[in-house]
């Protein structure tokens, strides 16, 4: 007697088989969410490597073939490439209820919503935008890791007109990786990520670049210590990825930069005025907020790991 195993989605097609796409495939294979994983991309060697590593079962270099066999199609390219991919994919789909559920992993959501709207007039019912907040300093399918999303947040940004079944399938997919899935509006996502991630990266890049170009740069880096290392760690991030994010999330990033600059300007004025009370009050408020944040983050890690 044979037992019939059913999968939430038989075939998952990964467009762009790097760290995130490869880790997703590994996690979904382990969880039993799907039975077959197919890679699509332009670089045959890395797709071949994905097969060798057992991350994917097969690959194709043909986009229509990729779409044709997918139950879920996950666009795992960087943000701006993902927008181009959507412009390429969406017009190929038959109108109506059928076809694969399409989702992505990009760091900015508004630009993908806009790309979809520009390409086919609206976000299609089965295109569900999502953003796993996870990563690694390593990259490429070789670094892929089935545990990458455990304890991490994945933000879904469903829009009006999305097919509820498609949203629930994407939610179930991410839940099966061990991630905590939450919903957010597209613009809210982009504003929150601008504040907590995109702005800090821009600040770290600006600081390191300013110091590196200053006359005393040799001494500056010679005498910097652990606090500076932590503060500037994110300036070691991939420049191409962050260029794309800064372009893709321009308006929200500018709002964040301006909010920050206003607060920095107030502290600057307090230094000019030697206003000890204002400096103390601001530093104290910030320390309280940061200590609370650190406690929440520590608790979250403890509860789940």
Q: Least distance from C-beta 141 to a copy of itself, angstroms?
A: 22
Contact 86, 106 (CB under 8 A): no
> For residues 75 and 83, what is the distance between their CA atoms, to the nearest angstrom?
9
Say whether residue 69 binds a copy of itself (CB under 8 A).
Answer: no
> For residues 12 and 35, what is the distance between their CA atoms, to the nearest angstrom?
8
> For residues 250 and 255, what is the distance between their CA atoms, to the nearest angstrom?
9
Q: By CB under 8 A, name the one of 33, 117, 260, 303 that touches a copy of itself.
A: 260
Say whether residue 295 binds a copy of itself (CB under 8 A).
Answer: no
CA atoms in the 13 A half-sphere facing the CB of 197? 17
Q: Least distance from C-beta 227 to a copy of itself, angstroms?
A: 5
Q: By CB under 8 A, name the one of 119, 120, 172, 211 that touches a copy of itself.
A: 211
Count of residues in contact with a copy of itself, rule CB under 8 A:
90
Q: By CB under 8 A, name the one of 285, 299, 302, 305 that touches a copy of itself.
A: 285
Q: By CB under 8 A, name the one of 30, 209, 299, 304 that touches a copy of itself.
A: 209
Question: Which residues contact residue 77 at a Cβ distance below 8 angstroms, ignoring those fewer than 6 apart?
Answer: 15, 16, 85, 106
Residue 48 vs 268, nearer CB to a copy of itself: 268
C-alpha closest to that of 106 among 133, 131, 134, 128: 131
Tell which positions 74-133 bind a copy of itself, by CB under 8 A: 133
How many other CB atoms are there within 10 angstroms of residue 228's CB atom? Answer: 15
The residue range among 33-41, 48-56, 83-91, 293-301 that interacts with a copy of itself, by the rule CB under 8 A, is: 293-301
Residue 14 vs 112, nearer CB to a copy of itself: 112
Tell which positions 218-247 bind a copy of itself, by CB under 8 A: 219-225, 227-240, 242-244, 246-247
Say whether residue 282 binds a copy of itself (CB under 8 A).
Answer: yes
Residue 38 bridge partners (DSSP):
13, 58
Tell which positions 122-141 bind a copy of itself, by CB under 8 A: 133
- Sign of the dihedral through C-alpha 222, 224, 228, 229: positive
Residue 15 bridge partners (DSSP):
40, 75
**Could you give the string, one character per residue 155-174, with x where binding to a copy of itself holds by CB under 8 A and - elsewhere?**
x-------------------
């Amino acid at each position: 007697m044979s037992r019939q195993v059913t999968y939430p989605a038989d075939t998952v097609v990964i467009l762009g088989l790097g760290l995130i796409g490869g880790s997703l495939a590994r996690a979904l294979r382990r969880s039993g969410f799907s039975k077959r994983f197919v890679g699509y991309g332009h670089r045959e060697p890395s797709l071949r490597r994905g097969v060798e590593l057992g991350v994917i079962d097969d690959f194709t270099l043909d986009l229509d073939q990729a779409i044709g066999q997918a139950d879920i199609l996950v666009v795992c390219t960087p943000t701006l490439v993902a927008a181009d991919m959507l412009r390429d994919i969406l017009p190929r789909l038959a109108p109506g209820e059928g076809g694969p559920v399409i989702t992505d992993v990009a760091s900015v959501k508004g630009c993908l919503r806009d790309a979809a709207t520009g390409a086919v007039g609206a976000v299609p019912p089965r295109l569900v935008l999502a953003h796993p907040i996870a990563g690694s300093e390593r990259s490429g399918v070789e670094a892929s890791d089935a545990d990458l999303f455990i304890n991490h947040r994945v933000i879904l940004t469903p829009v009006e007109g999305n097919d509820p079944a498609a949203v629930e399938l994407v939610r179930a997919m991410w839940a099966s990786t061990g991630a905590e899935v939450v919903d957010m509006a597209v613009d809210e996502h982009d504003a929150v990520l601008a504040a907590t991630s995109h702005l800090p990266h821009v600040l770290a890049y600006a600081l390191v670049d300013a110091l590196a170009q200053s006359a005393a740069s040799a001494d500056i880096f010679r005498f910097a210590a652990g606090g500076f290392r932590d503060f500037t760690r994110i300036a070691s991030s991939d420049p191409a990825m962050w260029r794309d994010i800064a372009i893709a999330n321009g308006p929200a990033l500018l709002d964040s930069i301006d909010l920050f600059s206003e607060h920095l300007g107030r502290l600057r004025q307090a230094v000019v005025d030697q206003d000890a009370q204002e400096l103390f009050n601001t530093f104290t408020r910030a320390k309280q907020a940061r200590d609370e944040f650190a406690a929440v983050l520590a608790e979250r890690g403890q509860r789940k790991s």
